[in-house]
């Protein structure tokens, strides 16, 4: 067993005990030179493998630390281990955050994206540990050692010789690198935050004066201005770091940009002076930071999918799509692939002005999937059930089931070949049973509703309902309405459902109740194949023309209630209606009348989005058997819908 | 009980950790983000309810003084809120408040990167500088919407294309330099402003859409060529 393995075996349990035994691999992997599994990891020091939750450390790096500073081997091991452990426990902790930060680094700091990312995650990790008096000691000692090594090796004999060979002034090089060293800046920051001298020599008096000034200014007590001193580059940057609240997750993106601007500026100055590092001179641009976190290519498909699931919940649609494209570009994999169009044809589609946005289906599908799952409550409904009934008799044989025996056929005695048994026939009968109802989603897609290309909460909620009803074995129908209405009969084809839910009419809001009635009649009559049905005035007029005047009256008189023949009654009983609208429906009285008609049989729920005036108006119209839910904040729709659907009771 | 004691016998009680509080001086950025979120979510901030220019110049709530680089960082951080319905105009207001505060404390030369924005905010609205020291704003990216709306004594340089209703609507005593294509769609009022461009092809568009009383200059390499003067 080599020296480092022995130290690892001794020290690992102690460190894990200090951190309350996190759920990671308890064996630290020691390697001569660390590499990740794909062999592409750039770290020369150590890294945390997020796939296996294992810390990898380079023995060569540990040797280098001990040989070039006064740190002892045990402390060096523990310091590096705690830093890597911190990536799992403190920051970034979650893979989605790594992806998001890499995306931000790419967008804002392309030239120095790797360094900005690496330094930021190190800062956020270290900061939370160096402030801990006992647990942070090893890390503070490690950074003290690293700073000492940096000072001693910045202008080594080898470097000086390399610079002079190229005719460059070695002292000028040292000055430029020292004045723009991100590592020195961060060590100085840890020195202040950790309350321990780490050997950084900056003009802390100037820093303190500037900080006092900011503190006084905040309290309105600043008597005189303590301005910036451009000659004190690192000190000014340190002041900016001290003014940044890195512990506030609310402004993490702002912090990242402020920090990235500082790092880019410092590295940019070195690069400007030395665009190509002389041979034999350590490259201050490329070797900066530990760079000990995975690249996107190191993550598995499952990890990437989970990270995208997390990000779709947290970010707006535009940001999510940008990140998804970034992930696709970096990994060469495809996520949320565009689905084939749900509808190739539909009745009346050529005359309708509805627009399909099938390219958005994948987005809403993922979003709905991460928004939670419902277990729908069965309710009593008229349905066909299996039924067996006796039809005739025949002689009982010993192999026949005993329950079919008719003992009365032979006066209570069982005589083989003579005693009769019932002959059973199987069929169906209409009965009332508890079943998961089919769902009919009535979605407003008028101009006032959020467009599918943006992150539409009503569409997402509709997807959640459809997805869950489908998962519970129900069929899902859709009515997508504005001034016209598109119908999809209840179906198990979820792609068609998604397609119509993501379609958009625009325009005003008139729910054409007559057409809904007509649609149901045609559905019961078997006139509609499982195709979407798009209404238009022309369709409607043609239908009326074919009718007897008495029937026409039935369809045109707004005051009559629904005439429910038996099949239609069954259809309604098997459907739950969920309407999502922002109100402002032109023919509201008619809609209320319709809802009241069918609500004796179905469960109707109307979610009215953020429209107090309409809520009053609807309330005054007395929806007898329909639940009207006012959703004041549209973001609440998820919770309200999920909650309501969970608790909804069967109407007796 | 005996077995429980046995179970505990190997347990060593850990020491209580002493943790220093992370020091942050001023906490300007943190509070500022909170204020920004409040402004975004507050329905009372409405075009019709507020004297917007007064809000920019004398906002009682937004008193933070940031450096120009920090204001740009703040702008970048607002991208996370791009899909908020009031994002554009409320972000415009916040940005102008911050620029104005910073300018009053002696900062100038504000550089903004807007290339990553799908619809960038209209920067520099309602700014008021001084004649001898105009507020200097440089924008990198295409400024689709108004830049320098109702600004006074300010200088705007757009390193990208400009369009929409144009730059500098109702601006006074300000200058606008366009280092990209100009595609204005309105002739609304500007007063005593200077409009410069490095593209000769823009001149016809600018002459047509910039009303009299303003100056148009073509920057031909190192020299400036007067195309139309204030009184023409």
DSSP β-bridge partners for residue A433: A381
Out of A135, A218, A317, the one facing B17 most closely (by C-beta) is: A135
What are the boundaries of each domain within chain B? Answer: 28-228
Query: What ipTM score was computed for the predicted complex, to two decimals?
Result: 0.85
Q: Does A247 touch chain B (CB under 8 A)?
A: yes
For A135, the closest chain B residue by CA position comes to B17
Mutation choice for B interface testing from A109, A192, A238, A254 by most B CBs within 10 A: A254
Domains of chain A: 1-89 (3.30.2010), 114-287 (no CATH), 303-331 (no CATH), 357-372+436-579 (no CATH), 383-433 (no CATH)
Asked if the model's pLDDT at residue B211 lies above 80, the reply is: yes
Reference A522, options A504, A534, A509, A538; nearest CA is: A534
How far, in Å, CA of A97 to CA of B129, rounded?
Answer: 41
Reference A123, options A11, A262, A219, A223; nearest CA is: A262
Strand order in the sheet with A420-435: A379-395, A420-435, A405-406
Consecutive H or E run containing A305:
helix A301-314
**Average per-residue pLDDT in chain B?**
85
Q: Does B82 touch chain A (CB under 8 A)?
A: yes
Residue A21: partners with Cβ closer than 8 Å, 6 or more residues away = none
**Helices in A220-276 by DSSP H: which ranges?**
233-243, 252-273
pLDDT band per the 50, 70, 90 thresholds, residue B111: very high
Residue pair A118/A292 in contact (Cβ under 8 Å)? The answer is: yes
- Strands, DSSP E only, in A417-528? 420-435, 438-444, 476-481, 485-491
| Other Cβ atoms within 10 Å of B2 Cβ, number | 6
Mutation choice for A interface testing from B18, B25, B118 by most A CBs within 10 A: B25
Q: Does B23 touch chain A (CB under 8 A)?
A: yes
pLDDT at residue A51 in the model: 84
Q: Average pLDDT per run of 10 along chain A, which is 652 residues long?
A: 91 93 92 66 78 90 92 96 95 94 94 92 95 95 94 82 83 90 95 95 92 80 69 92 90 93 93 74 50 82 93 90 94 82 58 80 90 70 73 85 84 82 81 78 86 88 88 86 79 89 77 67 60 54 55 43 50 76 73 70 79 79 75 75 56 33
Asked if the model's pLDDT at residue B84 lies above 70, the reply is: yes
Q: Does A21 touch chain B (CB under 8 A)?
A: no
| Other Cβ atoms within 10 Å of B207 Cβ, number | 13
Q: Does B22 touch chain A (CB under 8 A)?
A: yes
Q: Does B16 touch chain A (CB under 8 A)?
A: no
| Relative orientation angle of helices A549-556 and A537-545, to the nearest 10 degrees | 150
**Please, which residues 81-100 of chain A have a Cβ atom closer than 8 Å to chain B?**
none
- C-alpha dihedral (A635, A641, A642, A645), degrees to nearest 10: 170
User: What DSSP designation does B172 have?
Assistant: B
The string of DSSP letters for B83-134 reads: TSTTHHHHHHHHHHHHHHHHHHTT---EEEE-TT-SS---TTTT-B-BTTB-
pLDDT at residue A556 in the model: 44
- Strands, DSSP E only, in A515-584? 533-534, 575-581
Residue pair A593/A559 in contact (Cβ under 8 Å)? The answer is: yes
Residue pair A306/A327 in contact (Cβ under 8 Å)? The answer is: no
Peptide bond into A92 cis (omega under 30): yes
pLDDT digits (tens, 9 = 90+) for B212-231: 899 999 999 889 999 999 88
For B14, the closest chain A residue by CA position comes to A18
Residue pair B184/B205 in contact (Cβ under 8 Å)? The answer is: yes
Q: Does A190 touch chain B (CB under 8 A)?
A: no
How far, in Å, CA of A593 to CA of A591, rounded?
Answer: 5
pTM for the structure as a whole: 0.80
Q: How far is A253 from chain B (nearest CA, A)?
A: 5
Mean pLDDT of all residues in B38-47: 73
Q: Does B227 touch chain A (CB under 8 A)?
A: no
| Other Cβ atoms within 10 Å of A563 Cβ, number | 10
Distances (CA, A) of B161 to B167, B182, B196: 11, 6, 13
Percent over 90 (pLDDT), chain B: 37
Backbone φ and ψ for A126, nearest 5 degrees, come out as: -65, -40
Consecutive H or E run containing A411:
none
CB contact under 8 A, B25 and A227: no
How far, in Å, CA of A374 to CA of A384, rounded?
Answer: 26
Q: How do beta strands A379-395 and A420-435 pair?
A: antiparallel
**Helices in A166-203 by DSSP H: which ranges?**
170-179, 182-194
Q: Does A633 touch chain B (CB under 8 A)?
A: no
CB contact under 8 A, B82 and A132: no
What's the burial of A651, exposed, middle or buried (CB within 10 Å: 0-12/13-18/19+)?
A: middle
How many Cβ contacts (< 8 angstroms) between chains A and B?
A: 116
Mutation choice for B interface testing from A251, A312, A319, A321 by most B CBs within 10 A: A251
Q: How far is B24 from chain A (nearest CA, A)?
A: 5
């Amino acid at each position: 067993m080599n020296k480092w393995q022995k130290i690892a075996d001794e020290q690992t349990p102690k460190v894990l005990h200090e951190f309350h035994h996190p759920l990671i691999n308890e064996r630290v992997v020691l390697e001569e030179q660390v590499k990740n599994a794909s062999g592409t990891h750039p770290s020369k020091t150590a890294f945390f493998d997020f796939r296996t939750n294992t810390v990898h450390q380079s023995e060569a790096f540990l040797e280098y630390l001990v040989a070039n500073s006064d740190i002892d081997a045990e402390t060096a091991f523990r310091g590096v281990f705690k830093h890597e452990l911190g990536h799992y426990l403190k920051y970034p902790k979650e893979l989605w955050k790594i992806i998001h930060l890499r995306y931000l680094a790419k967008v804002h700091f392309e030239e120095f994206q790797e360094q900005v990312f690496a330094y930021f995650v190190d800062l956020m990790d270290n900061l939370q540990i160096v402030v801990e008096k006992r647990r942070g000691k090893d890390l503070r000692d490690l950074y003290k050692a690293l700073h000492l090594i940096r000072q001693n090796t910045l202008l080594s004999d080898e470097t000086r010789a390399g610079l002079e060979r190229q005719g460059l002034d070695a002292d000028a090089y040292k000055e430029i690198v020292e004045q723009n060293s991100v590592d020195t800046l961060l060590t100085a920051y840890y020195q202040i935050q950790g309350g321990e001298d780490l050997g950084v020599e900056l003009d802390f008096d100037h820093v303190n004066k500037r900080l006092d000034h900011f503190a006084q200014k905040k309290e309105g007590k600043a008597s005189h201005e303590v301005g910036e001193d451009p000659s004190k580059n690192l000190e000014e940057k340190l002041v900016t770091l001290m003014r940044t609240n890195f512990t506030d997750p609310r402004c993490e993106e702002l912090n990242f940009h402020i920090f990235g601007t500082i790092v880019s500026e410092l590295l940019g100055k070195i690069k400007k002076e030395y665009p190509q590092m002389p041979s034999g001179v350590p490259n201050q641009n490329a070797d900066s930071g530990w760079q000990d976190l995975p690249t996107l290519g190191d993550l598995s498909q499952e990890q990437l999918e989970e990270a995208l699931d997390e990000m779709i919940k947290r970010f707006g649609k535009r940001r999510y799509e940008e990140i998804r494209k970034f992930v696709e570009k970096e990994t060469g994999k495809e996520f949320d692939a565009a689905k084939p169009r749900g509808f190739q044809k539909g009745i009346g589609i050529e005359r309708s002005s509805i627009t399909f946005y099938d390219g958005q289906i994948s987005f809403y599908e993922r979003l709905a999937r991460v928004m939670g799952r419902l277990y729908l409550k069965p309710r009593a409904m008229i349905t066909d059930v299996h039924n067996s009934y006796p039809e005739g008799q025949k002689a009982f044989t010993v192999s026949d089931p005993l329950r079919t025996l008719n003992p009365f056929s032979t006066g209570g005695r069982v005589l083989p070949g003579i005693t009769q048994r019932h002959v059973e026939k199987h069929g169906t009968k209409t009965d009332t049973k508890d079943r998961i109802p089919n769902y009919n989603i009535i979605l407003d897609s008028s101009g006032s509703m959020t467009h599918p290309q943006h992150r539409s909460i009503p569409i997402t909620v509709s997807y959640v309902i459809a997805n869950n009803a489908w998962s519970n074995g129900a069929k899902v129908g859709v009515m997508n309405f504005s001034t016209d209405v598109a119908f999809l009969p209840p179906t198990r084809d979820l792609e068609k459902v998604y397609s119509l839910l993501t379609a958009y009419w625009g325009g005003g809001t008139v729910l054409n109740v007559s057409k809904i009635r007509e649609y149901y009649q045609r559905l019961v009559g078997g006139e509609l194949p499982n195709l979407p049905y798009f209404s238009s005035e022309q369709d409607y007029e043609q239908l009326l023309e074919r009718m007897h005047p008495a029937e026409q009256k039935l369809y045109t008189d707004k005051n009559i209630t629904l005439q429910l023949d038996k099949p239609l009654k069954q259809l309604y009983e098997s459907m739950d209606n969920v309407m999502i609208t922002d109100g402002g429906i032109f023919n509201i009285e008619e809609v209320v009348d319709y809802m009241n008609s069918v609500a004796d049989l179905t469960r109707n729920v109307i979610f009215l989005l953020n429209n107090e005036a309409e809520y009053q108006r609807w309330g005054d119209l007395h929806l007898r058997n329909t639940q009207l839910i006012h959703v004041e904040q549209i973001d609440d729709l998820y919770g309200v819908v999920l909650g309501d659907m969970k608790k909804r009771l069967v109407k007796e | 009980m005996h077995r429980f004691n046995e179970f505990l016998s190997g347990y060593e009680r850990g020491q209580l950790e002493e943790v220093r509080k992370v020091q942050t001086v001023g906490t300007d950025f943190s509070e500022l983000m909170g204020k920004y979120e409040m402004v975004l979510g507050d329905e009372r901030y409405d075009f019709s309810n507020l004297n917007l220019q007064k809000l920019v110049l004398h906002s009682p709530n937004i008193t933070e003084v940031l450096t120009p680089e920090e204001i740009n960082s703040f702008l970048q951080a607002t991208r996370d809120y791009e899909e908020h319905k009031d994002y554009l105009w409320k972000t415009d207001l916040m940005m102008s408040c911050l620029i104005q505060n910073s300018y009053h404390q002696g900062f100038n030369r504000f550089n903004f990167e807007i290339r990553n924005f799908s619809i960038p905010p209209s920067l520099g609205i309602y700014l008021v500088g001084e004649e001898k020291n105009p507020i200097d704003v440089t924008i990198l990216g295409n400024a689709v919407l108004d830049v320098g709306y109702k600004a006074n004594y300010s200088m705007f340089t757009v390193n990208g294309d400009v369009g929409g209703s144009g730059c500098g609507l109702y601006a006074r005593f300000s200058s606008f330099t366009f280092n990209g294509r100009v595609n204005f769609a309105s002739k609304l009022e500007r007063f005593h402003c200077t409009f410069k461009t490095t593209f000769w092809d823009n001149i016809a568009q600018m002459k047509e859409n910039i009303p009299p009383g303003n100056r148009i200059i073509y920057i031909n390499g190192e020299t400036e060529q007067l195309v139309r003067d204030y009184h023409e």
